[in-house]
C-alpha cells in the first residue's frame, strides 16, 4: 500500500513532561486528498522570548498562540510551549479564551504565519497537510504514539514527498515565522 518508511531507533520517553512525537515531510505541492478530510485555517504567532518569567504568573512570556477556525465557523485558541528539537519534543498546551488571543496577538508582530490545514485519518494516525498562505510551502506531518512506530506513507501522499524534514530546524513553524518577520530566505524546496 504506500512506501514503507524506516523505523526510528527507540528512545526513552517518560510520561512527564508531555511529549510530542512528530515526523514532518516537505511536499512538492498540494496532493489530491481523500474526500473525507477536515479543513481548518490557522493563524499563529510567536511571543518574544523573555527572561523575566515569573513563577506562578499567568502571563504568557514565551511560546506560540494559535487561533483555529474550522469550516463550520467555530473558533478555538491555544497557547503552546514547545522545547527541544527533532522528532521528540516537550509540548505544553492549554486552551485560552479568544479574547486573550486578541490581547496577545500584537506581541507577535513580525513572527506570524497563516496556513490552511487538512486533516486526514489514515489507519491509526492522522496526517496533517499544511499549505502556508503566501508561501510556496506545503508540509505533511503526523504525530506518533512512539518513536519506533512503523509508518507508511498513504497512497495519496506517494510521489509528493521531496524528503523528510523532521530533523531540519528550518522547517519548524517557528523558524518560518521568524524568518518571514525578518524578511529572511524561505527554506529551499529541494
H-helix or E-strand spanning residue 102: helix 98-104
C-alpha cell at 66: 494559535
**Nearest in space to 32 (alpha carbons), one of 122, 165, 129:** 129
The region that residue 155 occupies, defined by phi over 0 for left and psi between -120 and 50 for alpha, beta otherwise, is alpha
Q: What is the C-alpha to C-alpha distance for residues 111 and 107, in angstroms, rounded to an integer?
A: 9
- Positions annotated as catalytic residues are 46
Strands (E), the chain: 4-5, 19-27, 38-46, 64-70, 75-83, 88-96, 112-122, 125-132, 138-143, 151-152, 161-164
Sort 153 into a burial class: Cβ within 10 Å, 0-12 / 13-18 / 19+: buried
Amino acid at each position: 500500500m504506500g512506501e514503507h518508511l524506516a523505523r526510528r531507533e527507540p528512545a526513552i520517553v517518560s510520561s512527564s513532561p508531555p511529549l510530542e512525537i512528530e515526523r514532518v515531510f516537505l511536499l512538492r505541492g498540494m496532493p489530491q486528498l481523500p474526500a473525507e478530510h477536515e479543513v481548518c485555517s490557522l493563524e499563529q504567532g510567536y511571543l518574544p522570548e523573555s527572561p523575566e518569567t515569573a513563577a506562578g504568573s499567568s502571563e504568557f512570556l514565551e511560546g506560540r498562540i494559535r487561533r483555529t477556525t474550522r469550516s463550520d465557523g467555530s473558533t478555538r485558541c491555544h497557547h503552546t510551549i514547545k522545547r527541544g528539537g527533532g522528532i521528540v519534543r516537550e509540548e505544553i498546551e492549554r486552551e485560552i479564551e479568544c479574547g486573550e488571543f486578541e490581547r496577545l496577538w500584537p506581541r507577535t508582530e513580525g513572527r506570524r504565519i497563516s496556513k490552511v490545514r487538512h486533516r486526514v485519518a489514515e489507519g491509526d494516525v492522522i496526517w496533517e497537510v499544511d499549505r502556508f498562505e503566501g508561501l510556496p510551502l506545503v508540509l505533511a506531518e503526523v504525530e506518533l504514539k512512539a518513536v519506533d512506530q512503523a509508518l507508511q506513507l498513504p497512497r495519496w501522499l506517494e510521489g509528493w514527498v521531496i524528503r523528510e524534514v523532521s530533523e531540519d530546524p528550518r522547517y519548524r513553524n517557528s523558524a518560518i515565522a521568524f524568518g518571514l518577520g525578518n524578511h529572511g530566505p524561505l527554506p529551499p524546496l529541494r
